[in-house]
Chains A and B, each alone.
Chain A
């Protein structure tokens, strides 16, 4: 169960769009359509933003979208806002009832 690979940091200005990648293998991201994304503000509970690659739970802004190609999933945030600044984690089912997270990406809104 090796952690999925995410960039350590990304940044963007208000109103811009950013994309965070999440690279796994053919045993996790590439095999299953159960990639999810979490937003984590330090000191608070993580919040799920995307599930099953591209589904948005109720209450999550449509500025957040997800996709997947091969072994890499992506989270795109459009119309960046100051409150989007947080850590973002991807997570995938990895078979045999196990899950694996990415290493996390710190998003800075300039």
Chain B
């Protein structure tokens, strides 16, 4: 079964750091571009970051640029999100998502999502 499972969420103090992980199973992570998307409870989805298949290219949303770093360990079929300088505004459920590939073409669409991991930034 194709599956993504996030971990690493929890309670962190303002200004702190947290590292999220996303374990992929049922497919070869190295052939897919991957994303992080977050959702404040009761609010909408917000795109956070993307990494290409070999980890050499990354992009970020304006709200996290310079604070968050996306990376991947293809040998371990795992995606990461290092989050630094966390603030209350970063409190959200964080989803990892796989980018849909049509033929050999990237599509900017997410076809597989994890169930999410909750990050709470509070003192």
Determine if B107 and A52 form an interchain contact, defined as CB atoms under 8 angstroms apart: yes
**Extra A-B contacts (18), CB below 8 Å, given A96-B59, A103-B44:** A34-B108, A36-B107, A36-B110, A45-B95, A45-B113, A45-B115, A46-B45, A46-B113, A48-B100, A48-B111, A51-B109, A89-B44, A97-B59, A98-B60, A99-B47, A99-B108, A101-B44, A104-B44
Q: Give Cα A47 to B45, complex, Å.
A: 13
Give 20 A-B contacts (CB < 8 Å), ordered by A residue.
A1-B61, A1-B62, A3-B44, A40-B45, A45-B114, A45-B116, A46-B113, A48-B109, A51-B109, A57-B111, A91-B47, A96-B59, A98-B60, A99-B35, A99-B47, A101-B37, A101-B45, A101-B46, A104-B43, A104-B45
Q: Does A100 contact B (CB under 8 A)?
A: yes
- Enumerate chain A residues within 8 angstroms of B47, measured Cβ to Cβ: 91, 98-101
Q: Give Cα A104 to B66, complex, Å.
A: 27
- Enumerate chain B residues within 8 angstroms of A3, measured Cβ to Cβ: 44, 46
* Chain B, interface residues (CB within 8 Å), range: 20 to 34
CB-contacts of A32-73 with B (<8 A): 34, 36, 38, 40, 45-48, 51-52, 57
Give the total number of A-B pairs whose CB atoms are below 8 A apart.
Answer: 66
Determine if A51 and B45 form an interchain contact, defined as CB atoms under 8 angstroms apart: no
Which residue of A has the minimal Cβ distance to B110? A48
Which residue of A has the minimal Cβ distance to B60? A98
Contact residues of A with B, CB < 8 Å? 1, 3, 34, 36, 38, 40, 45-48, 51-52, 57, 89, 91, 93, 96-104
Contact residues of B with A, CB < 8 Å? 35, 37, 43-47, 50, 57, 59-62, 95, 100, 107-111, 113-116
- Enumerate chain A residues within 8 angstroms of B108, measured Cβ to Cβ: 34, 36, 91, 93, 99
Q: Give Cα A57 to B35, complex, Å.
A: 19
